[in-house]
Amino acid sequence: MGADEPQFLVSSKPPRRRLAYRLADAGGDTDVGLIWLPGFLSDMESTKALALASWAEGRGVPMLRFDYSGHGLSDGDLEQAAIGDWLEETCAMLEILLAKTQRAIAIGSSMGGWIALLLARKLAKEGALARLAGLVLVAPAWDMTERLIFDRMSEEAKATLDRDGVFYEPSLYGDPYPITKRLIEEGRNHMTGTSPLAFDLPVRILQGMCDADVPWRHALALVERLSSTDVELTLIKDGDHRLSRDQDLSRLESTVAALLARAGAAQPESI
């Protein structure tokens, strides 16, 4: 069964928001599903999300994808939201998926990679890490608000941010990004680079070496911070930040298939 029409979850904490999601419940016998975590200013209709949803449905693997508040079809003001809000929403969406299956592979793109790491760290602290079967991170923008945004800002941009509460960062992909003072300051509550990420999960990282937004050495530094020994980093020499070319999508699908196979949930068709 596909997910032609979006469904909505009303957040439990004020300000209440209607969060849009699509759940393809394949109805198979696998105990592992997929949850897609999009990047900043992306949504569940991105090229990678759609390609992976089609791939998962064709193989009988449940998959949930959703829009953070302030993104896509979900309610909320982007300029009022921050990492903690999106982590909380991710946890709520994981509950929906786990009502259909026992474990999940979290697949995070860019900022979604950071949120996937925060999700795993949170579950590990709660003694519930077994709810995850692994992480797949595409150009993971961990500690993005500080390391990849604030530290790169000019003094003039920082002064604008302090004065106006928002700075519009030029983007390679369309309209400028609204970077708010709240996004930066609240993001400091969720840093992952201050201590090792102590959770024992298989982690697969796909990183383009021509990525202008997330340098490939940023992904390499993440590998060093992960306590798990089951970590693989794939560097794509001519890959950009989006990694949405046909060959990139095939690599993503193969990576997810291999992790599903490792979890005993499915056999990959080709690796």
Euclidean distance between CA atoms 81 and 104, whole angstroms? 25
Q: Cα–Cα distance between 176 and 178 in angstroms, integer?
A: 6
In angstroms, the CA 144 to CA 148 distance is 5
Rounded to whole angstroms, how far apart are CA atoms 122 and 113?
A: 14
pLDDT digits (tens, 9 = 90+) for 116-168: 999 999 999 999 999 999 999 999 999 999 999 999 999 999 999 999 999 99
Question: Helix, strand, coil shares of the chain as percentages rounded to 5?
Answer: 40, 20, 40
Task: Give the pLDDT score at 265.
Answer: 64
Q: Are 251 and 236 in contact (CB under 8 A)?
A: yes
- Whether residue 197 contacts residue 121, with contact meaning beta carbons closer than 8 Å, is answered with yes
Average pLDDT of adjacent 10-residue blocks, the chain of 271 residues: 76 83 77 97 96 95 97 93 96 96 97 98 97 98 97 96 94 83 97 89 98 97 96 98 98 98 64 33
Full set of structural domains in the chain with CATH: 7-142+197-261 (3.40.50.1820)
Q: How far is CA 243 from CA 36, 49, 77, 109, 148, in A?
A: 15, 12, 28, 10, 18
- pLDDT attached to residue 28: 57
pLDDT attached to residue 3: 47
Encoded tokens for 155: 């003094």
Strand partners, 262: none
pLDDT of residue 268: 40
Distances (CA, A) of 262 to 41, 50, 201, 259, 267: 32, 24, 11, 5, 9
Q: What is the pLDDT of residue 65?
A: 98
Close Cβ partners of 213 (under 8 Å, ≥ 6 residues apart): 110, 139, 141, 148, 172, 241
